[in-house]
Amino acid sequence: MSRSIEQLESMVADLLAEARKQGASAAEAAVSSSAGLSLTVRLSEVETVEHTRDQGLSITVYFGKRKGSANTTDLKPAALREAVNKACTIARYTSEDDCAGLADPDLLARDYPDLDLYHPWNIDTERAKELALKAEQAARDHDRRISNSEGATLNTQSGSFIYGNSHGFVGGYPTTRHSLSCVVLAQDGDSMQRDYWYDSRRDWHELLSPDAIGRKAAANAVAKLNARKLGTCQAPVIFRADIAPHLLHSLTGALRGHAQYRQSSFLLDSLQQEIFPNWVSIQEDPHIPKGLSSAPFDNQGVATRPKNIIRDGVIQTYLLDSYSACKLNMKSTGNAGGVRNLAITIGDLSLEQMLREMSKGLLVTELMGQGVNAVTGDYSRGAAGFWVENGEIQYPVEEITIAGNLKDMYRQLLAVGSDTDIPGSTHTGSWWVEQMTIAGN
């Protein structure tokens, strides 16, 4: 069982007191504790059962503008004192940094909402095995061409964490996360393909059924069989909804404060620039109840708030923690630790309607490699998917590369589909981009 909120609060208080005792002018600390179960079945047999129990803390101290940090997974009192001692030793020998320090006390989350993030699942290994077996069996029963399985896995985890600093801020909350996934292989003659599906939720009652997950994994794998190659061409491209979040993450990465002050962003100095068509808005909402990325405050205690990142196609804000805000002479936007619960303007077209409207082009269902240049926006990724003609899928394709530039891709966004039923914390449908280069034979 993970430690209670009260126990973690006591540890944070002890860490901050020890930092003051050792001469630090300011300090911040975070302590976490979690416990969980992970069970995998493969070909109707239990393959692995893992009971996990994790804990850890981090302490950062400041001596004026000098900073030192230390981490440990040992939460005994002596280990806490040693961690603070190591952080203080490091700080005494580091160079001064004008932006080193705690978050602005006026921005800290003094009063924040309960976001309903804790739904523990008292599940034993027998029940976990039963659910995983159901998912795998549903996949194997879906089509005779499902020839093998890489398994189905059920994960459940609950935990608590506390963050505090010497401005007097102490906050924390318990969380849970549960998931079920299935991976299978399909074969037809010499053609073999692998695919998967999963679901992940804060509340285990809301997980997709094992049957639905298994059938979706099998259908994805079977659809890819007997894939062909394409000749090099230029064509419209639709990124399926479960792939589209990658394009949003490239956007938020370029708007991160650290990318801006290091001048390593293809959207450098881009505030108030129009980069999307004027019908596009993109929001962050960290306060969605049960949201997988929801949080009432960021990793520095700054209150999170819903905000427009893009409004009417125009960039409204960078995504800043306290350090990058200082570097850019701005205020923190509550994004230490990342962006939470992104959503883009959704259109009325289903994926099938988008394919009909596109008439001819590529539907991308899988991306490979890391071919995105964060500085220039040049985009080149290995891909697989389906070739579309006359508004209908004709055949699966593989061993192709799609290329363009993210600025062009954003400007050429023609529609975002209504097919938003994908797992994860990003709310988007499929993206229809007007034209990209497709490299094949």
- Beta strand pairing call for 26-42 and 282-284: unpaired
Q: Assess contact for 44 and 136: CB atoms under 8 A.
A: yes
Number of residues that this document lists for the chain = 441
**CA gap 390, 201 in Å, rounded:** 38
Question: What are the backbone angles phi and psi of residue 139, rounded to the nearest 5°?
Answer: -65, -45
**pLDDT at site 2:** 58
Render each residue's pLDDT in the chain as its tens digit; 441 residues.
456 788 899 999 999 999 999 999 999 999 999 999 999 999 999 999 999 999 999 999 999 999 999 999 999 999 999 999 999 999 999 999 999 999 999 999 988 889 999 999 999 999 999 999 999 999 999 999 999 999 999 999 999 999 999 999 999 999 999 999 999 999 999 999 999 999 999 999 999 999 999 999 999 999 999 999 999 999 999 999 999 999 999 999 999 999 999 999 999 999 999 999 999 999 999 999 999 999 999 999 999 999 999 999 999 999 999 999 999 999 999 999 999 999 999 999 999 999 999 999 999 999 998 889 999 999 999 999 999 999 999 999 999 999 999 999 999 999 999 999 999 999 999 999 999 999 987
Nearest to 430 by CA among 383, 370, 365: 365
Q: At what angle do helices 210-223 and 125-142 cross, to 10 degrees?
A: 40
* Residue 432 token pair: 């229809």
* Residue 200 token pair: 């992940």
The secondary structure of residue 103, as a DSSP letter, is P
**pLDDT at site 441:** 79
Q: What is the pTM of this model?
A: 0.93
Give the start-to-end residue ranges of the domains of the chain: 227-441
Burial category of 21 from C-beta neighbours within 10 Å (exposed 0-12, middle 13-18, buried 19 and up)? exposed
Nearest to 400 by CA among 363, 359, 433: 363
